Amino acid sequence: MTNDARVIAVSRKRAHGVDKPNQLMIRLVAGLGVEGDAHYGATVKHRSRVRANPNQPNLRQVHLIHAELHDELAALGFHVTAGLMGENITTRGVDLLGLSQGARLRLGDAAVVEVTGLRNPCLQLDGLQPGLMAACVGRTPAGDMVRKAGVMAVVLAGGEVRAGDPIAIEPPEDPYRPLKPV
């Protein structure tokens, strides 16, 4: 996490599907997510979670992926660009996977999101490129699974977010809580 933390790209898609087209700007709305995105709303929008319980709070309003993952995947022979894996915000210079649950990210001038947990890589990634899902999963030296497909967040303060916007990280006041899939 450095002072050079930046938004690299912003993406949204009205319909469900893995890839999200890049935009010049996205608007975050407090308590709801990315205006005009399929996952916009106070209650869960992920299709399998809606089937289980459509009244669950939406802890997955905004999906963030670190561009460093794209670099890692490119070294393995995958061609991944911003938005392709379904993220709304592509970052550089932020250790997203190392953040504590409850960490806040200030994006640009006004928007603030709170990290709720990890995105679980899904089989839809293999529809983009065979083997992509497995490449987004690693192991620690102790053998524990590492989910690399970014983090999920909720919007605390709305605002416009653009590529090039700075990112400020605000750790939570409570002790560090490792991220778990949401």
Residue 1: per-residue pLDDT: 42
β-bridge partners, 91: 7, 66
**pTM score > 0.85 for this model?**
yes
Nearest 5°: the CA angle 100, 7, 24 is 140
Q: Which residues in the chain show pLDDT less than 50?
A: 1-2
Is residue 182 in a domain? no
pLDDT of residue 49: 83
Instruction: Scan for tokens 């289980």, then name that residue.
Output: 52
Kindly report each contact of residues 39-48 with a partner whose C-beta sits within 8 Å and lies 24 or more positions away, as own/partner. 39/63, 47/16
Distance, CA of 163 to CA of 36 (rounded, Å) = 18
Q: For 179, phi and psi rounded to 5 degrees?
A: -75, 140
| pLDDT at 54 (0 to 100) | 87
pLDDT of residue 151: 98
CATH of residue 148's domain is 2.40.33.20
Q: In terms of residue numbers, what domain contains 65?
A: 6-170
- pLDDT at position 19 is 94
Q: Could you give the number of structural domains in the chain?
A: 1
